Chain A
Amino acid sequence: MSAPGARATGRAAAVLAFAALFAAAAPAMDLTAGLMLGPRTLRDPALKAVYGSGTVYCPYVLLPVGRFFFLGGGYEAGFSRSGLIGIYREPAVLKVFGGEMFAGLKVRFNPLILYGRAGIGRFTYRQTVESPVAGDYPVDGSKWALSLAGGARVELTERLFLSGELKWVPLKVSPYDIPVDLGGMRYLFGVGYTFSL
């Protein structure tokens, strides 16, 4: 089997595994939803010099699996940065967004819950430049990437909580044979609510 075929099969298997875990957890009938937002950095210093750090917002849902585990999915958007690029200082915009699925481990120290999670996400990146030559080199692609995060949750009530999280996505792309590191840290804070269905 070719390498792209193997990757597609791997992705399909991961999606199926998540679906199976969700199905297994369904009898618990607890669903946590939340929204986090915060600054997002760029690891590459040259990119950072042009575009700086941005802000992302991440809606997510979690499904507890047993006492210590959970599954979830989320979306990350909002990173859209403008800058002046190249020797002609041409206006440019960089956008990165994507969705992810993850699994995690949580430990309760009332009223604090510490957790860590890992997942994969499909991230889309897009750079537009107001340049006569940029049309020959469109930058608009997507790539799977790991997503690693750790954080803490403070329960304000039985269902309402505040959360803080550090997330790292090592996203490296190379649409034209030049590797570009779009990875970076997310410093997220937010609020969530646990529904009993």
Chain B
Amino acid sequence: MKNLPRAASRTAAGLLAVAAAAVAIVSAAQDDRRPPRPIRPPAAGSSSPRSGAAGVSLPPRPFPSYRFLRPLNPLTDALLPDMPAYLSHHGSAPTAVAMLMAYHSLHGFPELMPGDVTVQGPLIDDIIASPGHYLDYSLPLDEPPDLLPDKSEGPPEDCHTDDSLADFLCTSRSAFGNFYGDTLSVDIKAGIEKYLKWVGGYRVITTPNRCQNVAWWTIRNEIISGRPMIFLVDPEGRGNADLYVTVAGLRSEGGVSFYGCHTTRDRELRWFELRPVQEGREWGVNTIYTVVITQAVFPPLEASIVRVVNDYFFFREEINRLSWKPNPSNKTPIVRTKILRKPLGSPDSAFAIVAELDASQAQFDDRGLSSSDRFVYRLTSVDESGHESPPATVTN
């Protein structure tokens, strides 16, 4: 019995040694699974620290290199493999948006970009930033801290008509405080919408979100849904995001999430850690723009209204007979025509649905009216995805 404590202590020591060895083995294995840290390039000196700047004047910097130990896992990772890759053409924002548009033009929205979008030829360059844009807003070429006035500060009639992504995104316009190649982050949403309106036939919902407000699965869901995104990132880790990239992939390894993007600085797909922008943290993400493009839905054509009297001998029913034609511009199947009405002279808030008809119908009788009833009607088309067109309006 006296030797028992000693034997127990020896047993305990042995167990501790085994446990320590096991911990060491597990730790080593975890080190193997953990992705190698990026090879940090030396800090560069000159670049625009301004938020939203395009950063086209940045000197070439080596990208951080990650050695992934396993291939993409389809259960957790996502990648759009056929994303066209463009080099920056007078600004990262129009170039990144052009890549996004090019991807969609290859996947069901062919009119978004002209020509062969897989190769960045002159046609693509002109869509990114037209010669008119370069002459009116890029020149004189300027960089911080000396902002040089361009034509955006003169009368609008002296400028060319907007005809490129850089025009719609207000890139390089000194009147907006932009240096050459810069685009303000607040102009991305409106710029994309203007471009889609200029192209015609499509509608877009662009949603900007701070990186820290976007869940990992949201980004993954966008990518597996075939929707690349625009990220505003901070390549130099100054705490100021100044480069727009087109994001086409998301992967996780060793508990770390990475986004895959085309940076407009080369044509490779580059992977960076997905984390919010912070000083000293290279390629941190400031803003995530999700972009959902759908076919535009157009309202019925030639909507008209005729007053009809239905005679029941003892009383008469007044009817507003509405008729219309389906809009041939609709490229998605229209499943319903929605009809709303309000009394003539009442506010728009008084509009109420009176009928939802099958798309095969092109006439509706609003029955049971009295001779003094006067109404304003709105007719909208609804496609199979539930998207509703702007209204066509007819009045008694």
Enumerate chain B residues within 8 angstroms of A175, measured Cβ to Cβ. Answer: 314-315
- Contacts A132-B367, A133-B367, A136-B368 given; indicate if A86 touches B314 (C-beta within 8 A): no
B315 touching A178 by the CB < 8 A rule? yes
Of A85, A86, A132, the contact of B368 (CB 8 Å cutoff): A132
Interface string of B335-372 (1 = CB under 8 A from A): 00000000000000000000000000000000110000
The CA of A46 and the CA of B313, in the complex, are separated in Å by 8
Nearest Cβ in chain B — how far from A143, in angstroms?
13
B317 touches A178 (CB 8 A): no
Top 8 A-B residue pairs of the complex, sorted by shortest distance between their CB atoms: A133-B368, A137-B315, A176-B315, A139-B314, A86-B310, A87-B310, A133-B317, A180-B313
A59-75 vs B: 1/0 string, CB under 8 Å?
Answer: 00000000000000000
Interface residue tally of chain B, by bracket?
10 to 19
Chain A residues within an 8 Å CB radius of B315: 137, 139, 175-176, 178
Distance in angstroms between the alpha carbons of A131 and B317 in the assembled complex: 11
**Inter-chain contact B313/A85, CB cutoff 8 Å:** yes
Bound-state CA distance A180–B368 (Å) is: 21
- Does A109 lie at the interface of the complex (its beta carbon under 8 Å from any beta carbon of B)? no
Closest Cβ–Cβ distance, residue B365 to chain A (whole Å): 8
| Contact indicator B367/A85 (Cβ below 8 Å) | no
Contact B308 A178 (CB under 8 A): no
Q: In the complex, A136→B310 CA distance in Å?
A: 14
How close is B314's CB to chain A, nearest CB, in angstroms?
A: 4
A127 touches B368 (CB 8 A): no
- C-alpha spacing A44/B311, complex, angstroms: 14
Q: Is A169 an interface residue (CB 8 A)?
A: no
* Chain B residues proximal to chain A, CB less than 8 Å: 308, 310-317, 319, 367-368
Are A127 and B314 interface neighbours, CB within 8 A? yes
17 inter-chain pairs at a CB distance below 8 angstroms, sorted by A residue, are A44-B313, A46-B311, A47-B313, A50-B313, A87-B308, A127-B312, A127-B314, A129-B312, A132-B367, A132-B368, A133-B317, A133-B368, A134-B312, A137-B312, A139-B314, A175-B314, A178-B316
Closest residue of chain B to A137 (Cβ to Cβ) is B315
Within the complex, the shortest CB–CB distance from B83 to chain A, in Å, comes to 56
Chain A residues 147-171 with CB under 8 Å of chain B are none
Contact B312 A85 (CB under 8 A): yes
* A169-197 near B? 1/0 per residue, CB < 8 Å: 00001011010100000000000000000
Enumerate chain A residues within 8 angstroms of B319, measured Cβ to Cβ.
Answer: 87
Contact with B along A115-147 (1 / 0, CB 8 A): 000000000000101011110110100000000
B-side contacts of A133, CB under 8 Å? 317, 367-368
Chain A interface: which size bin?
A: 20 to 34
B313 adjacent to A178 (CB under 8 Å) = yes
Q: Could you say which residues of chain B place their CB within 8 Å of the CB of A131? A: 312, 317
A178 to B316, CA, bound (A): 9
Is A86 a contact partner of B311 (Cβ separation < 8 A)?
Answer: yes
Q: Which residues of chain A are near B310, meaning CB under 8 Å?
A: 86-88
Residue of A nearest to B321 (CB): A87
Contact assessment for A180 and B367 in the assembled complex, using a CB-CB cutoff below 8 Å: no
Is the pair A176, B314 in contact by a Cβ cutoff of 8 Å? yes
With A and B bound together, what is the CA distance between A87 and B367 in angstroms? 12
Q: List 18 additional contacts besides A88-B310, A92-B312; criterion CB under 8 Å.
A: A46-B311, A85-B313, A86-B310, A86-B312, A87-B308, A87-B310, A127-B312, A127-B313, A127-B314, A131-B317, A137-B315, A139-B314, A139-B315, A175-B315, A176-B314, A178-B313, A178-B314, A178-B315
- Chain A neighbourhood of B367, CB < 8 A: 132-133
B322 to chain A, nearest CB (A): 15
Residues of A close to B308: CB separation below 8 A = 87
In whole Å, how far is B281's beta carbon from the nearest beta carbon of chain A? 68
The CA-CA distance from A137 to B314 in the complex, in Å, is: 9
Q: Could you say which residues of chain A place their CB within 8 Å of the CB of B312?
A: 85-86, 92, 127, 129, 131, 134, 137, 139
CA distance A176 to B311 in the complex (A): 12
Residues of B within 8 A of A173 (CB): 314
A50: chain B residues at CB < 8 Å are: 313
| Chain A residue nearest in CB terms to B369 | A133
Q: How far is the CA of A137 from the CA of B367 in the complex (A)?
A: 13
In the assembled complex, how far is the CB of residue B366 from the closest CB belonging to chain A, in whole angstroms?
11
A178 contact set on B, CB distance < 8 A: 313-316
Shortest CB distance B251–A (Å): 61
In the assembled complex, the Cα of A87 lies from the Cα of B310 at a distance in Å of 6
- In the assembled complex, the Cα of A137 lies from the Cα of B316 at a distance in Å of 9
A142 to B319, CA, bound (A): 29
A176 cross-chain contacts in B, Cβ below 8 A: 314-315
- Complex Cα spacing A118 to B222, Å: 90
